[in-house]
Amino acid sequence: MRLNKWINIVAESGLELLRKQRKKQKKEQTPSISELCNALLSNKGEALGTALAGEVVAAYATMTRKEKTVFFQMLLEKYNPDVEQINTYAKAYMEEKSRSAFQKLSEAVESPRQSLIRRINMAPGGTQTIVDIRRDLLKTLKEHTELKMVDDDLVHLLSSWFSPGFLELRQIDWKTSAHILEKLISYEAVHEMQGWKDLRRRLEKDRRCFAFFHSALPDEPIIFVEVALVKGISGSIQEILARNDKQEKVSTTDSAIFYSISNCQVGLKGINFGNFLIKQVVMLLKQELPQIKKFATLSPIPGFMNWIMSLRKSENEMTLSSEDLEILKELDNNDWFLDDEICKRSKSLLMELCTHYLFHEKQYGKPKDPVARFHLSNGASILRLNWLGDISPKGIGQSIGILVNYHYDLKTVTENHELFVNDGEITVSKEFSELI
Q: Site map for its own copies, 129-168, x if CB under 8 A? A: -----------------x-xx--x---xx--xx-xxxx-x
Task: Return d(Cα 419, Cα 414) in angstroms, integer.
Answer: 9
Region from 67-75, 97-105, 294-302, 325-333 binding its own copies, contact rule CB under 8 A:
97-105
Rounded Cα gap, residues 354 and 361, in angstroms: 10
Q: How far is CA 432 from the centre of its chain?
A: 28
Q: Which residues contact 84 (CB under 8 A, 6 or more apart)?
A: none
Q: Is 289 in the site for its own copies (CB under 8 A)?
A: no
The binder of its own copies chosen from 244, 287, 321, 322 (CB under 8 A): 287
Q: Is 97 left (phi over 0), alpha (psi -120 to 50) or beta?
A: left
Q: Give the residues across from 294 on adjacent strands.
A: 255
The one among 70, 189, 309, 421 contacting its own copies by CB under 8 A: 421
Residues 6+ apart with CB under 8 A from 160: none
Task: State how far the Cα of 427 lies from the Cα of 429, in Å rounded to an integer.
Answer: 7
Q: Which of 83, 251, 332, 430 binds its own copies (CB under 8 A)?
A: 83
- Residues from 199 through 238 that contact its own copies (CB under 8 A): 200, 214-216
The minimum distance between CB 37 and its own copies, in angstroms, equals 17
242 vs 153: CA distance, rounded Å: 44
Nearer to its own copies, 273 or 387 (CB): 273
Contact positions with its own copies (CB under 8 A) in 298-327: none
Cβ closer to its own copies: 244 or 422? 422
Measured from the CB atom, the residue of 26 and 344 that comes closer to its own copies is 26
Among 64, 65, 178, 430, binds its own copies (CB under 8 A): 178
53 versus 385: smaller Cβ distance to its own copies: 53
Of the residues 69, 262, 263, 378, which one makes contact with its own copies according to CB under 8 A: 378
H or E element that contains 230: strand 223-230
Minimal distance, residue 321 CB to its own copies, in Å: 41
Which residues are part of the catalytic machinery? 299, 375
Question: In 3D, which of 201, 304, 178 has the Cα closest to residue 259?
Answer: 201
Q: Is 365 left (phi over 0), alpha (psi -120 to 50) or beta?
A: left
* Residues in 48-67 that interact with its own copies by CB under 8 A: 48-50
One character per residue 398-417, x = contact with its own copies (rule: CB under 8 A): ------------xx-xx-xx
Using the contact rule CB under 8 A, the part of the chain among 7-15, 247-255, 304-312, 326-334 near its own copies is 7-15
Per the CB < 8 A criterion, the answer to whether 386 and 399 are in contact is no
Cα angle: 85, vertex 89, 93; to 5 degrees: 170
